[in-house]
Amino acid sequence: MLDFDQKKLNKPKNTIPQLKDTLNDSQKLKFQQLKQKIFDEAHNLLDSKDVTKFERYTEDNQAVRLLWAQDFHVEKAFTMWQKWISWRLKIHADDIREEDIACEYQSGKAFWHGKDKLNNPCLVVKVKNHIPGVSSDIMVKYVLFLIEQGIQKSEEAGTGMISIIWDREGFNIKNVDYKLFETFKQLNQVIQDNYAERIYKVYILYPNWFFKTIYALVKPFLTERTKQKVIFVDQIEDMTTYFEPNELLIEHGGTSPYKFSYKLEKNTQLQKEAEQQINEVDQNLLSNNFDCSGVQSQQETITGLENECKE
């Protein structure tokens, strides 16, 4: 049984459906068993005083999704949870800042727009906007940042799930990033193991014969639940079967004129970094009889940080 503190810790938020309420008596017992194992292990891995982080890793709905993914096998679900939290702690997932992935984000290769007919927020991925050369570390942070955004949006929508439009239009050999093949392979496994139950459907646009051939080779390695989530869309007009026209971009068969735009703002973190550099210059001036050579203005400092994205 869960103790008082855990019940209080995981008090449901009004806007988020509680998946445990859909379980039968046998499933609820397994849910309780898994939650106790998670709670005990979380005490060993986390600082229980950090309530926000502790809630994230012991959340009820996540436990139910793990059980769904493993057909209510408690030990297998717990093993998945251990791998998930170990991976997140290893890459410092909770410390990722927007400015860490701003250069990738402003590329427009992926952005959130609209929702499907079931009110699931939609991530639009335009693979033609990917430019090879990004480090595996940044790519992992970028993908995880998008996942975290999606989780937040889906819970605000009250569905807990997202849809993905994978737009292959304009994709060619220049977008192939051979250095990231192993990274994508690892990410695919992590997403399939820990976030698959967050994905409602993935709509593949413009799936040519080559893509379908590759998918046929990969398909045997996917779980049945994952296979059911992938939909090939051969006719763009078919997208209105799943989305209202005003929730779809014009190029996806809808009526939305939305154009993604993202500018690296002079946010608080950049401001702090700039101010720190200015303070260091001030200290040097005081200790070097006010020699002003090499002084950089605050605006120049911030501009320099922004220009890193253009290199």
pLDDT per position as a tens digit, 78-95: 998 998 899 888 888 888
Do 203 and 181 have their domain in common? yes
Residue 103 lies in a domain: yes
pLDDT recorded at residue 50: 84
Lowest mean pLDDT among 19-33, 131-145, 211-225, 267-281: 267-281
Q: In the predicted model, what is the mean pLDDT of residues 225-254?
A: 94
Residue 73 lies in a domain: yes
User: What is the b/e burial string over 61-99, where b = at least 16 CB atoms within 10 angstroms of the residue's CB?
Assistant: bbbbbbbbbbebebeebbebbeebbebbeeeebeebeeb
Do 113 and 199 have their domain in common? yes
165 confidence band (pLDDT: 50, 70, 90): very high
Q: In the predicted model, what is the mean pLDDT of residues 136-159?
A: 88
Residue 173 lies in a domain: yes
pLDDT recorded at residue 304: 53
Domain count, the chain: 3
Q: In the predicted model, what is the mean pLDDT of residues 259-280?
A: 60
pLDDT recorded at residue 279: 54
Domain that holds residue 123: 95-252
pLDDT recorded at residue 214: 82
Do 248 and 273 have their domain in common? no
Do 100 and 236 have their domain in common? yes
- The H or E element containing residue 115 is strand 110-115
Residue 242 lies in a domain: yes
Do 167 and 35 have their domain in common? no
pLDDT recorded at residue 262: 82
Last residue of a domain, one of 27, 61, 90: 90
Do 225 and 161 have their domain in common? yes
Residue 259 lies in a domain: no
For the chain, what is the mean pLDDT? 80
Lowest mean pLDDT among 34-38, 55-59, 184-188, 238-242: 184-188
pLDDT for 224 beyond 90: no
User: What is the b/e burial string over 292-301, where b = at least 16 CB atoms within 10 angstroms of the residue's CB?
Assistant: eeeeeeeeeb
Do 80 and 121 have their domain in common? no
Do 293 and 221 have their domain in common? no
Give the Cα separation of 38 and 58 in Å (integer). Answer: 6
Do 247 and 101 have their domain in common? yes
